[in-house]
Structure 1
Amino acid sequence: MTVVPPMPCRASKAVIQEAAEKYAGKINFLPGDDLFDLVHRMGGRIRFREFATPQPRESIHVRAPDDFDLYLPFETTPARDRFTIGHELGHLLLHYPVVKKAHQGASVEMAATRYLPDNPPPDVERCEWEANWFAAAFLMPSGPFADLWRETHGDRGAVAQRFFVSRQAAENRARSLGLA
């Protein structure tokens, strides 16, 4: 079996974020819902491990759309883990189909690494951006996020708590939506 890295879908940020929100709606995923349960229902497994060890450090290893392992470090917070899970689901939903299409008929698996090298190749960097765009919109849909941001007068702590993400993720989403 050949294991390959993700390949970018090359959609715009707006298209990826719209797709993430539509996907969340399609599967009835609401902000704050259990991502561990979602991954399980999708056919995946979440595994925790120490990332300082020399073993492979991929964050997602996809054998098929309904057969994948997602890796989280022991030392991160639940809020950070939620964004990581959303990010890795972005790799699964955005990049695995591109990999399969590019390797038509070949038996390939996809692994996205947690840590990028210094000065990563442009396609690797693009995949990371795309997965981040997906995660932000999937976990913090624009309408409810903007409503809460305004309601709380931009209290990133309150917004982060409501969406079960880190304060930094909430602030980044607000900037992305032109709210901050």
Structure 2
Amino acid sequence: MEVEEPGAVTEFVAPKPCGLSAEQIERRAAAFAAEHRFVAGRDRLRDLVGSMGGRIVTVDVPHLRELDGGSLEVYGPGDFLIRLSPITGPMRDNFTIGHELGHYVLHSGEPLGSLRIRVGRWGCEPVEREANRFAAALLMPRDLFCSTASCCGNEPTKLAAQFYVSCTAAAYRLISLQMATREELGLAR
């Protein structure tokens, strides 16, 4: 499968929110990980993308939408391209790859890749929030993350190293799971 040339005429549709709840996205990420035998903190997402027929490239001259993250183009089932920024580090890139996989899993139709979508990681629209939640759940599964957090004193730096994500991603996951736990216990305001 070849990368389409810049300027090639390709018609894409805008991704639409999947409408799943946070818990449903968590379960979808867990099922996806199990299906692909992906173990967070151990396996490489780059290898998973390759096994699915996807490609990852670092762009030489990023478009504005790729400066602080990445983008995804889906050409068909098992044929997609993730573009990464040249100015981000490997731990940030790992979350970006998970985020773009979230778009592929949640927004490219069934079977996966049946909708030709193009999406840049920009803004806070529902599709972006859904992809972020998927990436967090895939890379930092709730039970494993919580048990690791309790062992390391809820230290984002240690969590980031364990799950190979940025400190920011680990801190957001920690906060979101603490808030979810408070809500489940009826302690939220």
Aligned partner of 1:115 among 122, 127, 137: 122
| 1:64 has 2:64 as partner | no
Q: Which residue of 1 aligns with 2:109?
A: 97
- In structure 2, the gaps of 5 or more residues are 1-9, 182-189
4+ aligned runs moved over 4 Å, structure 1: 51-54
SS in 2 for 1:132: helix
Cα deviations by residue, 1:35-70 (Å, 9 ceiling, x for unpaired): 11111100001011145458x857000011300010
- What SS does the corresponding residue of 2:117 show, helix, strand or coil? strand
Q: Which residue of 2 aligns with 1:80?
A: 92
Show the counterpart of 1:171: 171
Work out which of the residue numbers 22, 26, 37 in structure 1 matches 2:47: 37
Q: Is the 8 A contact 2:72 2:120 kept in 1?
A: yes
Q: Following the alignment from structure 2 to structure 1, what is the Cα–Cα distance between the partners of residues 71 and 134? A: 16
**TM-score scaled by structure 1?**
0.84
* Cα distance change on mapping 1:47 and 1:2 into 2, 3 Å: same
Distance 1:67 1:88, change over 3 A: same
Helix, strand or coil at the partner of 2:131: helix
Q: Which structure ranks higher in relative contact order (CA pairs < 8 Å, sequence separation ≥ 6)?
A: 1
Within 2, Cα distance between the matches of 1:148 and 1:178?
14
Measured after TM superposition, the shift of residue 22 of structure 1 is 1.9
CA RMSD, 1 decimal: 2.5
Q: Which amino acid aligns with 2:119?
A: A
Residue 49 (structure 1) aligned with residue 59 (structure 2): yes
> How high is the TM-score relative to the length of structure 2?
0.80
Bigger share in strand: 1
Q: Does 1:4 align with 2:9?
A: no
Q: 1:71 and 1:161, CA in 2 relative to 1: closer, same or farther beyond 3 A?
A: same
User: Hey, what does 1:149 align to over in structure 2?
Assistant: 149
Partner of 1:103: none
Residues in 2 aligned to 1:99 and 1:72: alpha-carbon distance in whole angstroms: 25
Deviation at 1:28, TM superposition (A): 1.0
Contact kept in structure 2, 1:7 and 1:99, CA below 8 Å: no
Q: Percent sequence identity over matched residues?
A: 39
Distance 2:26 2:117 in 1: 22
- Read off the aligned partner of 1:31 and give its amino acid letter: A
Q: Distance in 2 between matches of 1:21 and 1:35?
A: 14
Give unpaired runs (5+ residues) of structure 1: 101-106
Give the Cα–Cα distance (whole angstroms) in 2 for the partners of residues 161 and 108 of structure 1.
35
CA deviations on 1:15-34 (whole Å, 9 max, x unpaired) are: 10111012112211011311
